[in-house]
Structure 1
């Protein structure tokens, strides 16, 4: 009989409340199999949409957690929880709670910026970085988003330019998301689960009202300056139609001598759900070779 992975859940304390976490362990772990830690995006969208990546637990432990204030983690005690520095500290506390001294760090979207910031603060922990459809520079993200908005149908462009009060704004926003966030219709269960646990206050405080409008406290943040100094292998993943634009991802990756880039044809920001087999294969190949 085939053995199944084992699942453990728990709460790790931080100064802003407890983080919910899940550790999925392989049935017969190799002694040298370094765990992978999944950092979700948002900010404020819990880790459910990354749950399909728990499949990596056939070879190594997978740690997935909800950032403070969303999903199954505690509500944030105050607004100081929603900063880059606070999220870095929360992750460090989680890894100490779990006794993890070395891990592969996977960051998706905003989680990519968090991964880079965490590695700057704790460079000894990462065995590798996996930067998936990553936010690296807020200004570059918005410049890329503006280019994508400019390619929308004229009615959608006009509605977005007119602002959220325009009667066609919601339709235009949905078209942007269909083209660049997720092209599966209706949206798959992992995304819907994340949406049900989303904290809009966290998203608005750090980011803004939608993927192409940035008004929060991440304004001006840029982690690209740390890429050239990376001393660990780093894998960059994105979709050809992703809001994390392939040209931008390739440019950031080229700053590191230890980088590898994988662009998935026709993929969006949710390419791990659209092309799960190819995505997991790319991750497994990279992790095995590190």
Structure 2
């Protein structure tokens, strides 16, 4: 009976339905109740932290509009990897395969202004190197990570290099320059060599980008398709890209991958690569329009760097040989602190 009486007293105290119990008993049980409630509260809070979403997305204000971003593996503990897409104007849609790396660290994609899911203002004056560097600065600031790895592909490697050289961001731990455009003169020289390997009819057709008659426009389109199948993406026809930023691309680069007529036509940072002192990984494909010999030249100018060439790939190695590509990137990132 005494045990039953104590149990009933416990219940009464817990429910707060009695006030005439022994004061010591009341004090002990109230302390027990507070302790238990605190423990339950901490458990719920811990569960909520553990259950934070693994993916988040949103928009960031930049000069000229808003840019869309997405973070994969947002709940992972590793230093985040920020991806800079090519083009200019290609968008980050082709980067979905980088989700393979989001099991260890956050992987951040964003569409630069003028393409993808970001605002696409009709204003050619916006498409300058300086504005894109400022845009990148504001994206990094809005994300708020104290440390980052950068990976830039093609024009994205150009943007990453400009950002590092001009802004010297202290939080960037390493950079991966994948199929980089770092000197337009060398890029075009390589393209001329590649064009010279096409059949004579296609060689002539590649020069018809300004033609207005339908036969010439069709011949030019077929020649560009052949060039791209050899040096841009070798696994078949390029997937459609309905949000491609044509105005950005043509303003800054030109009519196609091989011919530079825009504001980047005189671009070169080859002489400044010695100023990159952080760890640098260069990547390219054996048949890349960022030709292996040229990328090897860039790597030799860069103090703390290495180069990996993917033998069965061209410019889109992360699509063409994804297992090899992501294994290489993962290994490099794991070595950085």
Count of residues in Structure 1 that have an aligned counterpart in Structure 2 = 280
Shift of 1:266: 2.3
Match of 1:237 in 2: 283
Q: Report the CA distance between 1:161 and its aligned residue.
A: 3.9
* CA apart distance, 1:5: 7.3
| CA shift for structure 1 position 15 | 2.0
CA–CA separation in structure 2 for the residues paired with 1:4 and 1:185: 39
Partner of 1:204: 250
CA positional deviation for 1:101: 3.1
Structure with the largest fraction of helix? 2
Q: Which runs of 5+ in 2 are unaligned?
A: 1-50
Task: Find out whether 1:181 has 2:237 as its counterpart.
Answer: no
Counterpart contact for 1:19–1:73, Cα < 8 Å = yes
Q: How much does 1:173 deviate?
A: 1.0
In the TM superposition, residue 80 of structure 1 has moved relative to its aligned partner by: 3.3
Q: TM-score, normalised by structure 1?
A: 0.92
SS of the residue 2:275 aligns to: coil
Residues 163 and 21 of structure 1: CA distance in aligned 2, closer, same or farther (over 3 Å)? closer
Counterparts of 2:147 and 2:128 in 1: how far apart (Å)? 24
Of 1, 6, 10, the match for 2:58: 10
Distance in 1 between residues matched to 2:209 and 2:116, nearest whole Å: 30
Aligned pairs for 1:212-231 (under 5 A) are 212-231=258-277
Counterpart among 76, 83, 97 of residue 142 in structure 2: 97
1:249 to 282, 295, 300: 295
Deviation at 1:100, TM superposition (A): 2.2
DSSP 3-state at the match of 2:136: helix
| Range 215-224 or range 202-211, more displaced | 215-224
**Retained in 2: the 8 A contact 1:119–1:125?**
no
CA RMSD between the two structures: 1.7
- Rg: which structure is higher? 2
State whether residues 164 and 170 of structure 1, in contact with CA within 8 Å, keep that contact through their aligned partners in structure 2.
no
**3-state secondary structure, aligned to 1:12:** strand
Consecutive unaligned residues in structure 1, runs of 5 or more: none
Which of the numbers 97, 113, 128 marks the counterpart of 1:83? Answer: 128
Aligned to 1:259: 305
Q: What TM-score do you get using the length of structure 2 for normalisation?
A: 0.79
Q: CA shift at 1:44, angstroms?
A: 0.8
Considering Cα pairs closer than 8 Å and 6+ residues apart, tell me whether 1 or 2 has the greater RCO.
1
Residue 221 of structure 2, aligned match among 170, 174, 177: 170
* Structure 1 stretch displaced more, 278-287 or 43-52: 43-52
* Residue number in structure 2 paired with 1:113: 158
